[in-house]
Structures are given as structure tokens and as C-alpha cells.
Chains A and B, each alone.
Chain A
Amino acid sequence: MSFRDQHDLHKRRFSRNLGLGLVLAAFVALVFGLTVVKVGVEGFAMKPQNEVQD
């Protein structure tokens, strides 16, 4: 038996998978962007290495 991808069912699933893929990619980009912004904000600073050791 061969899979016929012309079936309406496959089109619906493709639209669902494509949509979900794009949403996930956009989400990853957004979280990356937010991280860059948050880390760049003044006041968000790592303690100097010598203080951490103390």
C-alpha cells in the first residue's frame, strides 16, 4: 500500500505541522531575543570572579 499525499487528510495535517513548526521557530527566536535584552539591561551583572570565590 502506498501513501497518497494528495488526500485531504494529508493536506490538513501538513498545514497543522507547518503551522506548529513556524510557531515553535518564532518562539525560539523570541526567547533568544528576550534573553539578549534581559542580559543587556543595566543592573543585570555577574558578580566579579574574586567575590564569587570569597
Chain B
Amino acid sequence: MSDASLNTASTQQGDAEFGDYFALLKPRVMTLVVFTAFVGLLAAPVGVHPLVGFAAILFIAVGGGASGALNMWWDADIDRVMKRTRKRPIPAGKVSEDEAFAFGITLAGFAVVMLGLATNLLAAGLLAFTIFFYVVIYSMWLKRWTPQNIVIGGAAGAFPPMIGWAAATGTISIESILMFALIFMWTPPHFWALALFMRSDYDEAGVPMLTVTHGRRATRIHILVYTLLLAGLAIATAFTSVGGPIYLTVAIVLNAAFLIGALRIWRRDEGMAEDDNYAVEKKFFRLSLYYLFAHFVAIALEASLVPFGLGGW
């Protein structure tokens, strides 16, 4: 009797545990996907059975995770260089690149088919497009080619609420487009603020971030312009069927704070930033996390209060 799996040469290294495969799904990104997809589903004017809703969010999350695994497969060379990503399962030697590819592609197909069966074909099609967009358009093409990588690639992260909405209604509407646009316009200032204080990482990996290709002054201007556009969009959403007084209040307060932060970043130069170790940029980055979370919580609150005659206009 022989047991090939006892061949130590092939198992001593890279024999991953369950958690390593889970880490391939980028769980932290997945929480944002789950949360925004949930809000999209909740805000939709059509009710779904709780189990169907749960299944929809689960399969959207698995699809998002699968694209994360495929992104790690493609970007393994960059991940080995950057401090922030060096401990991911592939650069750490726990999972091989081929395994990550097989894992990602299988889960992607599985998630799309199951979402289609649990809800409808539009939601499944949107999920398939999101995975394609993140892996092929963003990871393989734009990320290493253009400093606008973050702008266009941000679309992939913006789809979940639209998929959640489509899972419930079977349609795309102005509200779901506005929720998409909110995340899409929020992504560039969020990542550029990070790039301002994580410069060396992107430099060493050769990723053409705006800070590297167009300089830090241009990045500061870009942050301000995108924040201005985002503010208009976020406040306009208040006057659609997913908005209401709670959302409007949250949007006014947070967009004012976000604009003040962007103005501060715009007024500073590198000398000032280095003097306080990028305190303003780091504060803006932290605020950006609360910003998106609070906007979607407000949309969820408006939708949850409708049955009590309170939410919405």
C-alpha cells in the first residue's frame, strides 16, 4: 500500500490550512461587499424571502472573494514586493499560484451559477461582469498600465449594491446606479490618500499610482476634485427613493467634513506633510472609511423605517 500524500517533498511546503484559503478571498474587502450588497437588497422596493436574500448576499460575497483570489494569483509578483501584501497566502508560500487560480476560477463560476438559480439572470450577469472587470480589466490590464487604475478599477467594488438591488427587483434603476456611483467616486480619493502616505510601497512594486506618475501635487488636486464631485452626487442621492431626512443629514455633515479634509490636503505641500508624518492624509483616509459606511447605514435605516411610516420622504 502506498500513500502518495505522505511524500514529504510535496507536502512540507505549501500545505495550506483552511484559513489560508479563506485569506485568499480577501475577507476585509468581502465585508464591504457583503455590507453594500445587503443595503442594495434592503433598499430595493421589492421584498424577497429572507433565505433568498441571505443566499443572494452569500453568493455575491463568494463571487467577490473569488475575484480577490484571482487578483492574488495574478498579482503574486507585486505582492511579494509590497510590505502591505507580503504576508498574503501566495507570497508567504502557503498556497501555490496554480492552486489559487483553480480555487478562484471554480468559486467564481459557482457563485455566478448559484446566484442565477437563487435570484435572477440579471443579478448573475452583473456578478459575472464584476468578476471579469476586477480580474481582467483592472488587475491584468489597467493596474500596471495607467495611473487612472484606481478610478476605473473602483467600478468593480461599486457593483455589489447594484447586484443586491438587481437580485431583489430584477432591474437596474436610477437608485442602484447612484449607489454604484457613490462607491465609484469615493474610491479614488480614498486610495490616493493612502498612496500619499504609502508611497514607497507602490514605487517599489512599479505600480503606476498617480503619486508616482504625476507627482504628489497633482494627486492632491485630484483628491479635491473627486471629493467635490462626490459631494454633489452623495447629496443628490438624498432626493431619490432610497434617500430621506436621515440620509440627507448624514450626507451634509460627512460631505462637509470630507471636503474640509480634501481642502487641507490640497493646501499642503510635501514638506508640511513630512513634518507631521502625513497626519492630515491619514485622518482623511480614516474618515473615508466612516464616510462610506455611514452613507450606506443611512440608506439602510431609511429603508428599515419605511414599514413604520418613518423612512424616506
Contact = CB atoms under 8 A, between A and B. Distances in A.
Interface of A: 3, 9, 11-13, 15-16, 18-20, 30, 33-34, 37, 41
User: Which one of B12, B15, B18, B55 has the highest number of Cβ atoms from chain A below 10 Å of its Cβ?
Assistant: B18
Given A3-B6, A12-B15, A37-B49, 20 more contacts: A12-B16, A12-B17, A13-B15, A15-B18, A15-B19, A16-B16, A16-B17, A16-B18, A16-B21, A18-B18, A19-B21, A30-B51, A30-B55, A33-B51, A34-B51, A34-B52, A34-B55, A34-B117, A34-B118, A41-B49
Interface string B25-57: 000000000000000000000000101100100
A37 B118 CA distance: 10
A15 B16 CA distance: 9
Given A16-B18, A18-B18, A9 B12 contact: yes
14 contacts: A3-B6, A12-B16, A12-B17, A13-B15, A15-B17, A15-B18, A16-B16, A16-B17, A16-B21, A19-B18, A19-B22, A30-B55, A30-B58, A41-B49
A12 B13 CA distance: 12
Nearest to A27: B114
A32 B271 CA distance: 62
Contacts of B55: 30, 34
A25 B56 CA distance: 18
Contacts of A9: 11-12, 15
B52 A20 contact: no
Contacts of B118: 34
A41 B15 CA distance: 45
A4 to B, nearest CB: 11
Contacts of B21: 16, 19
A20 B15 contact: no
A33 to B, nearest CB: 5
Contacts of A11: 17
Contacts of B117: 34
A11 B18 CA distance: 11
Contacts of A20: 18
Contacts of A41: 49
Contacts of A37: 49, 51-52
A9 B52 CA distance: 39
Contacts of B12: 9
Nearest to B11: A9
